[in-house]
């Protein structure tokens, strides 16, 4: 969890509900609030001129999203909408800035989070321009597997994304992702159990 929910409430945060596919904010709109997922999943995305979706990030319980425009004072570079029914903490920008000023350790925490997101974007830009579909898919899965860092670290990692979501994050067609996953299964890099994709913990 980025910010404890008790601290959020003490600074005036409110919990808002989003239905599946409901839009929280649109690309180009002003950044007026800090958002943190209480329950559910939110994705940030863009659409190309021909309507193809590109997912910039997926955020689940305890994760925050959309902070750079709050710090930089620029419009949102992507849309945000709920992947499933979700509950989101919403904190006005001025309260968020005050919270960071009064809690320096949280300020440092956000510096680390934003740095890791920049690393992810740089990694994906390199993957999309330089590597095979199989390599792109495996790199994406391994990134999120490492990010989880949970008690199940010594168990096989269940990939929490659909084939379509993997396609939208890697810039591939869903048919290409399906073929890449099949090829990785043949190489024993991945497993498919009851249609779910798994990555071995030792990978």
Burial call 106-130: b when 16+ CB within 10 Å, e when fewer: beeebeeeeeeeeebeeebeebeee
CA-wise closest residue to 190 among 161, 149, 147: 161
- Distance between CA 150 and CA 152 in Å, rounded? 5
* Higher pLDDT among residues 154 and 130, named by residue: 130
3-state secondary structure of 122: helix
Q: Convert the pLDDT of each residue in 12-64 to its tens digit.
A: 999 999 999 999 999 999 999 999 999 999 999 999 888 889 999 999 999 99
pLDDT digits (tens, 9 = 90+) for 149-159: 654 555 789 99
CATH hierarchy code of domain 131-199 = 1.10.10.10
Residue of 122 and 162 predicted with greater confidence: 162
Q: At what angle do helices 104-130 and 163-170 cross, to 10 degrees?
A: 90
Domain boundaries, the chain: 5-117, 131-199
In CATH terms, 5-117 corresponds, of 3.40.50.1980, 2.60.120.10, 3.40.50.300, 3.90.1200.10, to 2.60.120.10
pLDDT at position 176, please? Answer: 96
> The pTM is what?
0.81
């Amino acid at each position: 969890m980025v910010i404890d929910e008790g601290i959020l409430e003490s600074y005036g945060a409110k919990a808002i509900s989003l239905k599946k596919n409901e839009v929280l904010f649109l690309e180009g709109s002003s950044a007026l609030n800090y958002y943190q997922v209480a329950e559910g999943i939110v994705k940030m995305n863009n659409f190309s001129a021909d309507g193809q979706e590109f997912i910039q990030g997926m955020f689940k319980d305890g994760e925050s999203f959309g902070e750079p425009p709050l710090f930089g004072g620029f419009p949102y570079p992507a849309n945000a909408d709920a992947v499933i029914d979700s509950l989101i903490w919403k904190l006005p920008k001025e309260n968020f800035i005050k919270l960071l000023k009064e809690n320096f350790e949280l300020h440092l925490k956000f510096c680390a989070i934003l740095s890791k997101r920049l690393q992810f974007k740089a990694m994906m830009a390199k993957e999309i321009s330089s590597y095979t579909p199989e390599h792109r898919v495996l790199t994406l899965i391994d990134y999120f597997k490492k990010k989880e860092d949970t008690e199940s670290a010594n168990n096989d990692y269940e990939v929490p994304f659909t084939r379509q979501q993997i396609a939208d994050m890697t810039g591939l067609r869903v048919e290409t992702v399906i073929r890449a996953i099949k090829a990785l299964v043949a190489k024993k890099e991945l497993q498919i159990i009851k249609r779910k994709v798994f990555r071995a913990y030792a990978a």
